[in-house]
Amino acid sequence: MNPLPLLIGAGIGLLGFFQLRKSIKLAKSGIKMEAEVVAVNARESTDVDDDGTTSTSISYYPIFKFDYNQKPYRVESNVGFGNSRKYAVGKNIKIVFLPNEPEKASVQNFGNNWFMPVVLIVVGGIIAVFAFSNPS
């Protein structure tokens, strides 16, 4: 049995597990509040398919401000979104952060907090199962 797929699957699954632990910690202990979107950064990415077809997409990263413990914070989301209107300038959004890390605040939504850890755990598990079932 080739151990490489098993190690890759386990690594991806562990990454997902640690992200899931962080999401659970945020859900239990996180400070949930509203912030105001003050700007939106648009980032363009270009992909080239195997057949040479080029596709371009734009992701929008909201920058929001809030006050916590009488101190102002301005944070750019580490997750981009495909809909620029969802996080328009001047709009209030829900954010979450750990009390000792307000500078790491993130937009509070399912995709941002739960989707990626679950995907990583599932993909890591599938790769690991495939590694076990394919002993060649």
pLDDT tens column, 2-15: 788 888 888 999 99
> How many other C-beta atoms can be found within 10 angstroms of the C-beta atom of residue 57?
11
pTM of the entire predicted model: 0.73
Domain that holds residue 14: 3-133
Q: Average pLDDT, stretch 70-75?
A: 97
Number of folded domains that form the chain: 1
Model confidence at 71: pLDDT above 90: yes
Model confidence at 110: pLDDT above 80: no
The CA-atom distances, in angstroms, between 78 and each of 40, 64, 106, 119, 128 are 12, 12, 7, 18, 29
> How many other C-beta atoms can be found within 10 angstroms of the C-beta atom of residue 56?
8
Inter-residue contact 49 to 55 (CB < 8 Å):
yes
Tell me phi and psi for residue 57, to 5 degrees: -135, 155
